[in-house]
Chains A and B, each alone.
Chain A
Amino acid sequence: MAPHSISRRELLKATGGLLVSFNLFEPVLGLLAQGGTPLSNAGGLSPDQLDSWLTIAQDGTVSVFTSKVDLGTGTGTALGQIVAEELDVPISKISMVIGDTTRSVDQGRTSASRTLERAGPQMRQAAAAARQELVKRASARLGAPAGQLTVANGVVSVAGNSAKNISYAALVGGKRFDTTVAASGEQWDLKVAPEVKPKDPKDYTIVGTSVPRFDLPPKLTGEFTYAQEVRVPGMLHGRVVRPPVVNSKPASVDEASIRDIPGVVKVVQQGSFVGVVARTEWAAIRAARALKVTWSAPPGQFPAGPDAMYAYLQNTKPFAERVGAENGNVSAALAQAVKTFEATYRWPFQMHAMIGPSCAVADVRGDKATVWSGSQAPFITRNGIARLLGIREENVHFIYREGSGCFGRLEPDDAPEDAALMSRAVGRPVRVQWMREDEHGWEPKGPPQLITIRSGLDGQGKVTAWEYAERTLSWTDARLSPMLASRQTGIRPDENGFFIGGTDGTPYTFDNRKAMAAAIPWMMNPNPLRTGNLRAPFAPGRCFASESQMDEMAAAAGIDPVQFRLRYLGDNTRAAEVLRAAADKAGWQARPSRASGGNGGGGNIVTGQGVAISGLAGTVVAQVADVAVDTSNGTVTVRKVTVAHDCGIIVNPDGLTNQIEGNVIQSVSRALMEEVDFDSAGVKNLDWNSYPIIRFRDVPDVDIVLINRREMPPMGGGEASSIATGAAIANAVFDAVRVRLRQAPFTPERVLRVLRAGTV
C-alpha cells in the first residue's frame, strides 16, 4: 500500500467520507465510497525499476509496459513512438504490453485526454534512462567513453569507428536490467528519472511522423482479440437481469420459469443483483429474457421527462456550490452596462453509446481472481473486484483487452464485477456480455446542464461583465465509486456523488467576471439515469452557452465574431492563433455579425457560418461550422467543420487527424440529434432507433489545420476537438437565420419552433 493511499484512508475516517480537495485543472468536491472498505486506487510494479517499464529480448524486441490503455485512439502506438525515439530503436522493434496489473506501473486511469500529456513524459524518461544505462554498459564493453558513443537502430557504436559496436540485444537481451532509477509521485503525477536528459525534439525522427497504428491491421482482418473475444477453458456465459423500473429490488425470482431452457447452469441472486449463467451464450440470453422476476415497487422516481429534469435542476437545493473564477465586481458592472444580456441554455442527458456493449470475463477461484475487460482504469477495476469479493487486491489479476470505443463509459466498468459475482457463484470462468438494452439503459450518462449567463457591454461594444452560473447533476459513477454489482450487493456510495465544475470553459479575460456551478444531488441507488463522465465532460454544454453568448454580444455590438473574440484572448497567443487559422482555412468573411442573409441554394435553404473556441488541459481548438438550414422544416445540415488544433508537439499527425475527425463528427451527432428520453420509471431509448446517432449521409466534411509546437510538451488530443462543434453550429444557425438556439440538440422540431417564434 502506497503511503498516499494510507493517508487518504485516514483522511476519510477523519472527514466521515467526504474528501475535499482542489486542483487547478479540475475543481473537485468529492467523494469516496462509504459504508464499505474505502477503495484504494494503487497497485502495480515499482516505478523506480527500469524493468517495470521496458525489457529487451534477445532478438532486440523492446517490450514496453504501460497501464495507460489504448481505447482505440492510437495512444499505444504513440507511446511506442516516444519510447522508440528515446531508445533509438526502429519502431518495428516495439511491442506494447498494455494494462496488465501484474506487469505494469500504475500510471492512473486513462481519461481526461491525459495519456500523452502525463504518461508520455513518464515513458520518455524511462526510455531515456534505459538508453543511458545501455550506453554506460556499452562503454565498459567497448572500452570507449560514453561521450564517444552513438546509438542507431538499437546498436551502440564508437563514433568514427562504427565497426566497434554492440547491440542492445547483446548487452541485455533476454535479461533484466536490474537498474534503479529515480521515481517520485504516483499515477498521473508520477515522475520518472527526471535527472536524465532526454533527446532534443529537434533531433526527432520517429515522434512527429505518422507511424501506422499497430492495432489496425488485426482489427481489420478479424485477428484482433477484443475483450469480447476472450475465451478461457471451461468458460460459461452470463447475462444480467435488470429491473424494468428504477431502483427496484427482486422480491421473488421464479427459477421454474426457465426450467425448459436447456443449458442453464444457475440463477445467481445476491442482494438486488440477478443474473443467469448458462453453457451457451444463446441459452444465457434466452434465460435472462424469460426469467420471471417480481420486482419491488420502486422507492424513487425520476422527474417525468427531460423538461421536468431541467425544472428539477432549477429548483433543487445544491449540495455544493463552487466559484471557479472571479475577478472584478460583476454586479456593479452589470448595473453600469449600456446593454445587458441574459440567457439560459440547456444541454441534455446524453449517452456514450458504445457500439459494442460492456463485456468482461472473470475467473474466480477461491481467494484469487483473473479478470479481462476494456476498463479505462485497470487498477481501480482490480481493487473494486477485490472489495466486492472480499479478497486481497494483489490476488486479483486484471488483464486489459480493448473493448469498444467508450468515451468515458468504461472508466466505471461494470461488467467485470458482474462476471466476478457470477463466476464465484458457479466456480467456473464466466463471460458477461451486456445486451444493447442493458447498455443503453444502464450506462452512466452525461448529465444535463442548465446554464444561465448574464453579461453586459459598454457603449463601445466592450464586454464589461460576465456572470456564468451552471446547475448540473453530480456524477453517481466516477473514480472510486462502487459499480452496479457492488451497490446491488450492499456497498454504499457516497451520498452526493462526485462533482467537477465551476468553470465557464472559455479562454477569455474579462474585467469583471464570475463563473460558478451548483451541484444538484441525484439518485445514488442503482438506476438507469446514472451519471458519469462523457467525453470532454460538461465542456460541450459550457462552450455552447458561453460561445453563443459571445456571439450574441458580437452581433449586438456590430463587430465581426472572430475580431470580437480576439479582443478577449489577452496574452493567450495560442488561442488567438488557432482562431485565426480556423477562420482563414474556412474562408471566413469578416462582417459585423452576419454575412448577407446567407443564400445557400435558394428556396428554403439558407446557409451560415459560425465560429467557436475551446480549451482543454492545455490544448486549444477553434472550429468554424458551415451549415444549411431548411426553413420549411427546421433541418440543420452541417456541411463542413473547419478545425484548427494546437496540442503542443504532435507525436503522430495522422493519428491526431483521425482523432479530430472522430471528435468533430461525433460532436455533430451530439449537437443535432442526441438526447436521452425518459419518464418517471426509466430510460426510453433502449436501441439505436430510439437513440439515433449520426449516419454516413449526414456526415460533414472536416477540414483540419494542425499547429505543431515542437518546443512544447505533448498535450491531449482525445477530447479537445469535441467541445466547440455544437457552439459553432449554433452560431452558424444564427448567421443563417438570425435566431438563437438555447437548447441542444438542434432537432428539426426544436429549430422550427424557434424559427416560428422568431426569438433572437
Chain B
Amino acid sequence: MARVSLRVNGTSRVVDTDPTTPLLYVLRNDLRLQGPKFGCGLGQCGACTVIMDGKTVRSCSLPVASAGNRAITTLEGLGTVARPHPLQRAFIAEQAAQCGMCMNGMILTAKVLLDSNPNPTSGQIKDALDGNLCRCASHLRVIRAIQRAARERA
C-alpha cells in the first residue's frame, strides 16, 4: 500500500492504495466518483475516460501512481444536474443518450476537442470520437450535441 496524492476536479485528495491500482478504481471506489465507467479495462472503449493535464486518458489502464499530482477532471468536474456544463446542457437538449454508459467518455472527449477546436466540422467530431464505442448507437445525437455546444458557445 502507498499514499498517493491526487488533484481531482480542483481538489487535493490523498488515497492509501496499492500503487498499481488503475486510476479508474481509485476514482470510483475510494473517491466515489462514478462518472468514469468500467467498460473493458483494456483502454479500447473509452467509457473510463478522464481528462489529465488537458488530455483524455483511459483511467482503466493508468496506474494511480502515474496520476499523482496531475490535474484530473472527471465528468463530475464539469457540472451537475442543477448547474450543467454547456456540453452537458447540449447533450441533454439533444437527448443524446440511451443507456448512457459511454457518455462520460463522449462528453469529456468532446470537451478536449472543443477546447482546442471550438468549431469542429462533423468529420472532425467523428475523428475525435472514433475511439469511443457506443452500443445503443447514439452517435448521431452525440454529433448534434457537440455541434450545438459549439454553436451556443460561439
Which A residues contact B (CB, under 8 angstroms)? Answer: 71-74, 212-213, 215-226, 228-229, 231, 262-263, 280-283, 285, 353-357, 402-407, 433, 435-436, 654-655, 658-659, 661-666, 669, 687-689, 693-697, 699, 701-702
Contact = CB atoms under 8 A, between A and B. Distances in A.
B74 A355 contact: no
Given A436-B41, A697-B126, A697-B127, A226 B101 contact: yes
Given A212-B95, A215-B100, A696-B129, A282 B18 contact: yes
A218 B84 CA distance: 10
Contact of A356 (B21, B25, B47): B47
A220 to B, nearest CB: 5
Interface in B96-138: 96-104, 107, 125-127, 129-138
A282 B20 contact: yes
B69 interface: no
Contact of A74 (B32, B44, B98, B142): B98
Interface of B: 1, 17-18, 20-22, 25, 28-29, 32-35, 37-42, 44-45, 47, 74-76, 78-81, 84, 88, 91-92, 95-104, 107, 125-127, 129-143
A228 to B, nearest CB: 7
Given A661-B141, A662-B137, A665-B139, A688 B97 contact: no
Nearest to A282: B21
B38 to A, nearest CB: 6
A750 to B, nearest CB: 23
A662 to B, nearest CB: 4
Nearest to B99: A72
A212 B34 contact: no
Closest 4 A/B residue pairs (Cβ) = A72-B99, A222-B35, A219-B100, A405-B99
A390 B12 CA distance: 48
A669 B137 contact: yes
Contacts of B25: 280-282
B39 A436 contact: yes
Contacts of A223: 76, 80-81
B91 A435 contact: no
Contact of B136 (A280, A435, A662, A695): A662
A355 B133 contact: yes
A219 B97 contact: yes
Given A212-B92, A216-B95, A353-B135, A661 B140 contact: yes
A405 B25 CA distance: 22
Given A262-B18, A355-B101, A695-B133, A658 B92 contact: no
Nearest to B102: A355
B100 A695 contact: no
Given A354-B101, A355-B47, A658-B98, 15 more contacts: A72-B99, A220-B84, A221-B81, A223-B76, A229-B28, A282-B22, A354-B135, A355-B39, A355-B102, A355-B135, A356-B38, A357-B38, A664-B137, A665-B139, A696-B143
B8 to A, nearest CB: 12
Give the residue among A221, A354, A435 with the most B Cβ atoms within 10 A: A221
Main secondary structure of the interface of A (DSSP, over half): loop
Nearest to A351: B135
Contact of B76 (A222, A263, A664): A222
Nearest to A439: B40
A218 B81 contact: yes
25 contacts: A72-B99, A72-B101, A220-B84, A221-B76, A222-B34, A228-B38, A229-B34, A355-B45, A355-B133, A356-B39, A403-B101, A407-B135, A654-B95, A661-B140, A662-B136, A662-B138, A664-B137, A666-B135, A666-B136, A669-B137, A693-B133, A696-B132, A697-B126, A699-B126, A699-B137
Nearest to A694: B137
Give the residue among A212, A283, A404 with the most B Cβ atoms within 10 A: A404
Contacts of A663: 137
Nearest to B75: A222
Contact of A73 (B17, B37, B47, B98): B98
B40 to A, nearest CB: 4
Contacts of B98: 72-74, 405, 658-659, 662
Contacts of A355: 37, 39, 45, 47, 99, 101-102, 133-136
Contacts of A661: 137-138, 140-141
A224 B100 contact: yes
B50 to A, nearest CB: 11
Nearest to A662: B137
A100 B150 CA distance: 41
A171 to B, nearest CB: 31
A650 B27 CA distance: 41
A436 B1 CA distance: 26
Contacts of A283: 18
B52 to A, nearest CB: 17
Give the residue among A74, A216, A226 with the most B Cβ atoms within 10 A: A216
